[in-house]
Chains A and B, each alone.
Chain A
Amino acid sequence: MSAIAATEPFLERAPQLLRDAATGFLPEPWRWLVNSLIAIGVILAVFGTLFAFLTLAERKILGRVQNRPGPNRTPLPFIKIKFFGLAQPFADGVKSLTKEDIVPRDADQVLHFLAPVVLLAFSIITFAVIPFGRHLVPVELDAGVLYFFAAGAATELAVFMAGWASHNKYSLLAAMRALAQLISYELPLLLAWVPVVLVAGSLSTTEIVTAQAGWKFGFLPHWYVFTPWGFAGFVIFIVAALAESNRSPFDLPEAESELIAGHLTEYSGFKYALFFMAEYFGMIALSGMAITLFLGGWRAPLPFLEWIPSYAWFGAKLIVLLLGFIWIRATFPRLRMDQLTRFAWKFLVPLALINLGNAAFWSLTSHWTGALQLIRWAVSLVLIVGPFVLMGRKLSAGVAPRVYRYAPS
């Protein structure tokens, strides 16, 4: 991490000051080691807690959407006050730790054990390159974005391992679905962020955030989501991220109404909890990457709000995105397998490719000013909205609009 100017606000420097106070007396190689260990510990603690309360938030919000209270009976320890079921995550943790760990007799013992470990390991190492704040980047890599998606690509392999090793037909079906889903959605996910790299001119997460600095007319931030290609890329990225993290409406590998619990069928106790942990970590990491690539990273949305420390802005954006994911899960029905793959190959991939050309146009016309700027916006908008409308019509031909025959409209 680079040296920090003492002129910056205290809150911005606080994490570093705290760390240096703790490790400042150590000689150099040890200091680096301890600093890295502290970074790892903080990431695990912060996102572990976020995971715990995210499960609670998800269950409460899903409950509200479905007109039921959600978990509300878990009292806070020792004081017996039922405060919105706030202690539920800890009760769940104790439960999954103390449950019996069942491994089927016919299962592939080694792979069955290895699958949750591999899944969780690869979900966690993706956090290493996300810039959580102005000075809070755990590892600065020249090819940080590539590292992130390389680590993320290995997670679906673990889902396959789990499904295949369980020696259960539902699990095997889930494994096949997971593979098909990964092959289909890996492409739009990768193609969605390539325009950002093209325009920012760097694969480093820190430099991508730096490239989104500044204000238009003094108050509009230069985030990529506020450009035509950036908005399209953001939406494609979020859709593909939902599919990559096996979230509803793309949770086909564990579709509980079709496959019991898919690849999780033969897992119990703490291994089951590890799968859940990895799913939420994957979702948090992909949201963090979406923020970094499209939503300006840790930057404040308005100039006069810049006194709030950068990591607070990152956290706020992260929570908004995660709540959006929960909202999507509560709202949309699950896709069918053929719809899932058709949507990826016939809609998202071509749209992402067109968007790449759009970003190339944007990058080539960056010197246009005045009236030409308006033309630039118009052309870019047409380049993405046109194909969207045309392909959407073709995809939904014969399907939409839906006719409600039995329900009054």
Chain B
Amino acid sequence: MNAALAFIAVLTLASAAVAMALRNLIHSALLLIASWFGLAAFYLWAGAEFVAFAQVLVYVGAISMVVLFAVLLTRRSRQDLAVEPASLGRALSALLVGATVAVVLARAIFATPLAVAPTATPTISVRQLGAQLMGPHAAALLVVGVILTVALLGAVVLAATDRADSKENAP
């Protein structure tokens, strides 16, 4: 049981790490998708079937498409896919953003009173899960929906913007 968890964790983290290290954006995106699959496998391991399938459906089925679409539409050629080596400013902003997200997440995790693992695994049917999502957690669901819509619109805006240095605009 724990061996499976270790395997899934290594697979997820390794693909995410390699995705960040690679210079080719398409490879990074595909590895990121592999990492999302790893997360779904983790949910399956934890017995949360519904969440695992929803993860695959939303992330692998939809968000991955938006990511790939944005990458393809904002690059001019295949050579453009490789990101140039990071400058000092980039490194600093990356550190800043990363640290902020880490602090927010860490605070949220430590502020949550985590219950001690119950002896018996609770069995939750999809119906109960749906009632929970539509009842007490409806606001969170709506916020997630808005975020996804904004991401989609952002991809369209990025892709639809005319580049000043594109061939059509050249004199």
Chain A residues with CB under 8 Å of chain B are 111, 141-143, 146-147, 149-151, 153-154, 156-157, 160-161, 164, 167, 175-176, 179-180, 182-183, 186, 190, 201-203
Could you jot down 25 A-B contacts, CB within 8 Å? A142-B125, A142-B126, A143-B49, A143-B126, A147-B49, A147-B53, A150-B57, A151-B56, A153-B57, A153-B62, A154-B56, A156-B65, A157-B33, A157-B64, A176-B69, A179-B68, A179-B69, A179-B72, A182-B65, A183-B65, A183-B66, A186-B62, A201-B127, A202-B127, A203-B126
- 1/0 per residue, CB under 8 A from A, across B68-110: the answer is 1100100000100000000000000000000000000000000
Q: CA separation between A164 and B75, bound complex, in Å?
A: 13
Residues of B within 8 A of A176 (CB): 69, 72
Contact A183 B69 (CB under 8 A): yes
Chain B residues with CB under 8 Å of chain A are 26, 30, 33, 49-50, 53-54, 56-57, 60-62, 64-66, 68-69, 72, 78, 125-127
Query: What's the count of A-B pairs with C-beta under 8 Å?
Result: 66
* Shortest CB distance B155–A (Å): 10
Residues of B within 8 A of A154 (CB): 56, 60-61
* Closest Cβ neighbor of B81 among chain A residues: A164
- Counting chain A CB atoms within 10 Å of each CB, the highest count among B30, B60, B62, B127 belongs to B30
* Shortest CB distance B62–A (Å): 7
* Across the A-B interface, the 5 shortest Cβ-Cβ residue pairs: A153-B61, A150-B56, A150-B57, A146-B53, A150-B53
Contact A153 B56 (CB under 8 A): yes
Q: CA separation between A299 and B78, bound complex, in Å?
A: 53
Residues of A within 8 A of B68 (CB): 160, 179
Using A143-B50, A202-B126 as known contacts, list a sample of 13 further A-B pairs with CB atoms less than 8 Å apart, ordered by residue number in A: A111-B30, A143-B49, A146-B53, A147-B49, A149-B57, A151-B56, A153-B56, A154-B56, A167-B78, A179-B72, A180-B69, A182-B61, A183-B66
Contact A143 B69 (CB under 8 A): no
Q: CA separation between A405 and B50, bound complex, in Å?
A: 56
Q: CA separation between A167 and B81, bound complex, in Å?
A: 13
* Closest Cβ neighbor of A156 among chain B residues: B65
> Which residue of B33, B57, B62, B125 is within 8 Å of A146 (Cβ)?
B57
Residues of A within 8 A of B125 (CB): 142
> Which residue of A146, A180, A202 is within 8 Å of B50 (Cβ)?
A146
Residues of A within 8 A of B53 (CB): 143, 146-147, 150
> Which residue of A141, A149, A156 is within 8 Å of B49 (Cβ)?
A141
Residues of B within 8 A of A167 (CB): 78
* Shortest CB distance B98–A (Å): 27
Residues of B within 8 A of A183 (CB): 62, 65-66, 69
Residues of B within 8 A of A190 (CB): 57
* Shortest CB distance A144–B (Å): 9
Q: CA separation between A214 and B57, bound complex, in Å?
A: 33
Residues of B within 8 A of A164 (CB): 26, 72
Q: CA separation between A143 and B126, bound complex, in Å?
A: 7
Residues of A within 8 A of B66 (CB): 183
Residues of A within 8 A of B61 (CB): 149-150, 153-154, 182, 186
Q: CA separation between A251 and B66, bound complex, in Å?
A: 21
Q: CA separation between A176 and B125, bound complex, in Å?
A: 39
* Shortest CB distance A52–B (Å): 29
* Shortest CB distance A67–B (Å): 40
* Closest Cβ neighbor of A141 among chain B residues: B49
* Shortest CB distance A222–B (Å): 21
